[in-house]
Amino acid sequence: MVKGRSSPLLLILFALVFLLPVYSLPGLNRKFSFNGLILNLGSSSYAVIFDAGSTGSRVHVFSFDKDFNLLPVGEDFELLVTTTPGLSSYADDPKAAADSLRPLLQKAEAAVPKQLHSKTPLRLGATAGLRQLEGDEAERILEAVRELFKKESTLEYKEEWVSILEGSQEGAYLWVAINYLLGTPGKKYSSTVGVIDLGGGSVQMAYAISKEGAANAPVAKDAYVLEKNIVGTTYYVYSHSYLNYGLKAARAQSLKLSGGHGNPCVTNGYKGTYDYSGVIYNVSAPLSGTSLRRCRALTGEVLKLDAPCPYRNCSFDGVWNGGGGDGRKNLYVASFFYDTAVGASIIKQNVPSVKVPPIVYWNAAKVACRANVQTIKSKFPQIDERDVPFLCMDLVYEYTLLAHGFGVDPLEEVTVLNQVEYKGSLVGAAWPLGCAIEVLSSSSA
């Protein structure tokens, strides 16, 4: 049941982030701005947001009151419906891709009062899966989705609301969502939390940095820094999406680098195949067996930890890391970080979040990399059958990503989360909430 009440003033302040103009500094993204007047929301408003990810599609339905407090949708603060596989799996059949969303659209529309359909924005953001498609495959899928929404939905819809998200947008939306739920808006930037979101095809990092850090941000096609103004407080948010470094993509790259001669990260005794983006990889351990040491070395190659750094501070693959600072001292890590932690018994099932240091992933890897297909389930009873071949690989990757890619102290606690407690209930930690806040805060023009 939903209970409790948060401060309307705090949430009004957060909503007003989108009222003030976004100014530019060198390296700031001018495309991602939340200019425009807040709509007259009346007593309540809804937003329907599709997350078209690499591993599946999800639809989120949110409702807000006039002060931008979340309202219940049914018994929870959001309606969430999912389907698999993701849209990118239908690269050769755009209509089938769009058709896969129809059941989700129908359930989402049923959750919105009919009298509000014409005022309820319908938006789809595609992430790593469609970013990786070649030629016009992604655009053909998006066109089919636009046609579905145009013909079959009575919700408010604009063609530009079906698009591939820029990597910085995805990370910034999640930063907005988690900080909104935690009630940090209006506080100094050092009181906000940083976020790392490990998806299937990409990993995103976002956190608030100093004004000086923002002024010195490198200029890039997908800008590193977004500026946000919250009544009296300006936030400069470093946000970057590392395409092809999501967990599923990293598995594929590891298997590719091992060249089909056995991968030292694969669970002993397993032989099979792995399909990622239509490419089939052979999966087996080498004759010498799974090796934690060799798996760690291979993972360093996957992450390109030794790539040249053209900036003063880099994370991995030569990418600027934002320079660090107070805004990233308190990190929240989500998605596959959470799923792997559950499978490795680091977190109990159904626990929404827990604070742990990255070293726990490494310690679990020591056990997983010594196991075989016959013993691994007795050591990790929560593991999903599909992850049995890859538990050693995934744990080593996630530890290396945190400790050596993003430079997190292995003994420094991070919050691994799936949901955030909000007004006595649990809300999923995902970027669509940040997107819903943006679309309802923008002008209708």
Of residues 348, 343, 242, 362, the one with CA closest to residue 296:
362
**Burial per residue of 8-33, b for 16 or more beta-carbon CB atoms within 10 angstroms, e otherwise:** eebbbbbbbbbeeebeeeebbbeebb
- Do residues 127 and 242 lie in contact, with contact meaning Cβ atoms separated by under 8 Å? no
Query: CA–CA separation, 184 vs 116, rounded Å?
Result: 30
Q: Are residues 437 and 364 in the same domain?
A: no
Q: Are residues 408 and 430 in the same domain?
A: no
| Burial bucket for residue 195 (CB in 10 Å: 0-12, 13-18, 19+) | buried
Q: Are residues 407 and 280 in the same domain?
A: yes
- Residue 34 forms part of a structural domain: yes
Q: Are residues 331 and 403 in the same domain?
A: yes
- Residue 157 forms part of a structural domain: yes
Binding residues: 200-204
Q: Are residues 259 and 405 in the same domain?
A: yes
- Residue 139 forms part of a structural domain: yes
Q: Are strands 70-71 and 57-64 parallel, antiparallel or unpaired?
A: antiparallel
User: What is the model's pLDDT at position 1?
Assistant: 45
Helices (H), 1-136: 8-15, 94-99, 102-111, 128-131
- Residue 184 forms part of a structural domain: no
Q: Between 292-303 and 247-257, two packed helices, what is the crossing angle to 10 degrees? A: 110
Q: Are residues 147 and 259 in the same domain?
A: no
Q: Are residues 366 and 437 in the same domain?
A: no
- What is the CATH classification number for the domain harbouring 152? 3.30.420.40
Catalytic residues, by residue number, are: 170
User: What is the model's pLDDT at position 180?
Assistant: 87
Q: Are residues 370 and 431 in the same domain?
A: no
- What is the CATH classification number for the domain harbouring 374? 3.30.420.150
Q: Are residues 284 and 363 in the same domain?
A: yes
- Residue 226 forms part of a structural domain: no
**Burial per residue of 321-358, b for 16 or more beta-carbon CB atoms within 10 angstroms, e otherwise:** bbbbbbbbebbbbbbbbbbbbbbbebbeeeebbbebbb
- Residue 386 forms part of a structural domain: yes
* Residue position matching structure tokens 């046609």: 147
Query: Cα angle at 338 between 433 and 187, to 5 degrees?
Result: 45
Q: Are residues 381 and 430 in the same domain?
A: no
The tens digit of pLDDT for each residue in 63-74 reads: 999 878 899 998
The tens digit of pLDDT for each residue in 232-252 reads: 457 899 999 999 999 999 999
- Residue 82 forms part of a structural domain: yes
> Which residue type, as a one-letter code, is found at position 105?
L
User: What is the model's pLDDT at position 33?
Assistant: 36
| Burial bucket for residue 441 (CB in 10 Å: 0-12, 13-18, 19+) | buried
Structurally, how many domains does the chain consist of? Answer: 2
User: What is the model's pLDDT at position 169?
Assistant: 86
Binding residues for ATP: 200-204
User: What is the model's pLDDT at position 230?
Assistant: 47
Query: CA–CA separation, 425 vs 41, rounded Å?
Result: 23
Owning domain of residue 349: 247-412
* Residue position matching structure tokens 């470094």: 245
Residues of the chain with pLDDT below 70 are 1-42, 228-233, 442-445
Q: The pTM is what? A: 0.84
- Residue 223 forms part of a structural domain: no
Residues in Cβ contact with 268 at an 8 Å cutoff, skipping those fewer than 6 apart: 285, 289, 290, 371, 372, 373
Q: Are residues 138 and 265 in the same domain?
A: no
Q: Are residues 115 and 259 in the same domain?
A: no
User: What is the model's pLDDT at position 6?
Assistant: 45
Q: CB atoms < 10 A from the CB of 308, how many?
A: 8
